[in-house]
Amino acid sequence: MKADFLKGRYGIDTLTFVLLFVAVMFVKFDYLWVLSIALLLYCIFRTFSQNRESRLKELQYFNKIFSKITRFIMQAVWKLKVKYSNYKMRSIQKKQFAFIKCPSCKKTLRLPKGKGKLQVTCPVCKTEFFKKT
């Protein structure tokens, strides 16, 4: 009986689960429960639809957008990790080294502390300048 009921229907996929999650989240807010009901009705429509080609196109479009969002978030997390590890390393090395920026290319350079006035050559732009450490 159950197998015959869903025979030829599209069924449940990732997009349907995401829409259900968003619908459940919107139920608690004033006036957004209408959007929640609309999303639930669309989920039911997608589940029992017999037009598989259209539902697959919707799913492919969703996966394309979702992968871009996921990639953006992962890059942002990676950048934060790198910044935090650089900050942590710099705070450990602050006792022994002075961190300065090159006046022309703004690259951060690390010089030993307590060596007096040093002539520094930037490894990136080859600019020479004097700096007291």
CB 4, CB 45: distance < 8 Å: no
Q: Which pLDDT tens digits describe the chain residue by residue (133 residues)?
A: 566 777 788 888 999 999 999 999 988 888 888 999 999 999 999 999 999 999 999 999 999 999 999 999 999 999 999 888 888 888 888 889 989 999 999 999 999 998 889 899 999 999 999 988 8
pTM recorded for the entire structure: 0.58
Residue tagged 């502390």 (tokens):
113
What's the rounded Cα separation, in Å, for the pair 122 and 126? 5
